[in-house]
Amino acid sequence: MEPVRSLHDLLDLQDVDAHIDRLIEQRQNLPELVDYRAAHEAALRVGADRDATAARLRETELAIDKTSGELEITQVKAGAEEMRLYAGGLSARDADYLRREVELLKGKVSGMEEEVLELMESREEIDTDLTRLDAELAVETSHKSELEAGIRESWRLIDAEIAVKEHRKIEIIPLVDEDLIDLYEGLRESRDGRVVGALENGVCGACHLILSAAEENEARRQNPPRCIHCRAILVP
């Protein structure tokens, strides 16, 4: 294979690789990804608040059921004890004891009734909060889904462009000497930026430094030509 032709093809390969690298970086750093992460975190935060509120609602409803059940039992007992008191036939001592017992039971009933009312008011407030959080979660989830759809479409377009460049790369590689490919890949792994540069008017196309006539001759004598400043592969 003609060395100069191989070097020119290597320069084309670098341009394709650079384009692929830019596309991959673009794919990884879409502006929408920042918004998506924020939307995801917001949805998690609202979802956690929603779940905690739902748990509070369940606890409150259980407390209402428990207190209402105890209230009903206490009401029945207070009514039965009061009937015994009014039925008569008790000694003065027993009647006085039973009267105090009925008053105590009625006090418990009053306290339980207040507790049930407070729990019901709390349940109404919690239920309102849960409805609000459900709506917020729906909004955040919808926003996240819209962003995700946009990101997937952007990725699809970028991936299609990468596929075109990858196909072009497959076409170029057989045109370049294998030793040059190995050297090129090694330089790409160890260095950032361009590792192949056109040599035009004594200027390295990779580092853009000027080579003196003697330096240019020295560079050209190497196989392949290498810049004495940056060690990039030079394409005369």
Category of 201 on φ-ψ map: left (φ > 0), alpha (ψ -120 to 50) or beta: left
Q: What is the CB neighbour count within 10 angstroms for residue 189?
A: 8
Sign of CA pseudo-dihedral 11, 17, 23, 28: negative
Neighbour tally for 39: CB within 10 Å: 20
In the predicted model, is pLDDT for residue 113 greater than 50?
yes
How many angstroms from the chain centroid is the CA of residue 106?
Answer: 57
Average pLDDT, the chain: 93
CB 130 within 8 A of CB 58: no
Predicted local confidence at residue 2, as pLDDT: 44
In angstroms, the CA 10 to CA 223 distance is: 14
Nearest-angstrom CA–CA distance, 5 and 10: 9
Are the C-beta atoms of 204 and 195 separated by less than 8 Å? Answer: no
Query: Please, are residues 13 and 187 in contact by the beta-carbon 8 Å criterion?
Result: no
pLDDT value, residue 1:
39
How many angstroms separate the CA atoms of 73 and 79, rounded? 10
Q: Could you give all domains of the chain from N- to C-terminal order, each with its CATH number?
A: 29-164 (1.10.287)
pLDDT 10s digits, 159-178: 999 999 999 999 999 999 99
From CA 74, how far away is CA 66, in angstroms rounded? 12
Query: Which pLDDT does position 3 carry in this prediction?
Result: 54
- pLDDT above 70 (res 204): yes
Write the CA distances from 170 to 17, 19, 126, 151, 196, integer angstroms.
11, 14, 63, 28, 18
What's the rounded mean pLDDT across residues 118-122? 95
3-state helix, strand, coil in the chain (%, to 5): 80, 5, 15
pLDDT > 70: what percent of the chain? 98
Please give the structure tokens belonging to residue 147.
Answer: 């962003």
* Two tokens, residue 117: 């009312």
Q: What is the pLDDT of residue 93?
A: 87
**CB-based contact 116:64 (threshold 8 Å):** yes
Q: Residue 144 has which token pair?
A: 């996240």
- pLDDT at position 114, please? 93
3-state secondary structure of 113: helix
pLDDT at residue 191 in the model: 85
